[in-house]
């Protein structure tokens, strides 16, 4: 688990890069949980970007986690209640000079832990 200060710093870095380089939302899985969740919640990519801009340390759940599959950058997990549903959000900074990446944006499959939530 990261300290609250480390989470805050990650979010500052992520938001700066998000504003400058933009966002790539992964939709390349066989089981497209991200797309399904976006459809059910009636959200589009720009909505996801705005939700990510609102993340705080209180939304933090886990991370950083190593990206063993693509080895791009560490992954961080957050959760957010959207339209009364808990959404699991996994993001990473991505490669240098490129978009940030939203790996997961789908309904939480298990109760999430929020170490900094009051």
The CATH number corresponding to 4-107 among 3.30.2310.40, 3.90.1300.10, 3.40.190.10, 3.40.50.10540 equals 3.30.2310.40
pLDDT at 29: 64
Q: Six-digit token pair at 118?
A: 């009051």
**Distance in angstroms (rounded) separating the CA atoms of residues 2 and 21:** 25
CA dihedral 47, 73, 59, 38 (to 10 degrees): 30
| Each residue's pLDDT tens digit, 71-97 | 889 999 999 999 999 999 999 999 999
> Please, which pLDDT band fits residue 70 given cuts at 50, 70 and 90?
confident
* DSSP-based three-state secondary structure for 85: strand
Report the pLDDT averaged over residues 22-43: 84
**Where exactly are the structural domains of the chain?**
4-107
């Amino acid at each position: 688990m990261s300290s609250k200060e480390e989470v805050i710093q990650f979010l500052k870095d992520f938001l700066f890069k998000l504003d400058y380089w933009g966002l790539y939302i992964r939709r390349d899985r066989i089981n497209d949980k991200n797309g399904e969740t976006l459809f059910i919640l009636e959200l589009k990519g720009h909505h996801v970007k705005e939700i990510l801009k609102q993340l705080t340390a209180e939304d933090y759940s886990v991370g950083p986690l190593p990206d063993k599959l693509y080895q791009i950058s560490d992954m961080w997990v957050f959760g957010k209640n959207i339209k009364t549903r808990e959404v699991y959000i996994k993001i990473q900074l991505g490669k240098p000079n490129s978009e940030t990446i939203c790996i997961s944006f789908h309904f939480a499959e298990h109760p999430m832990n929020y170490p900094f939530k009051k």
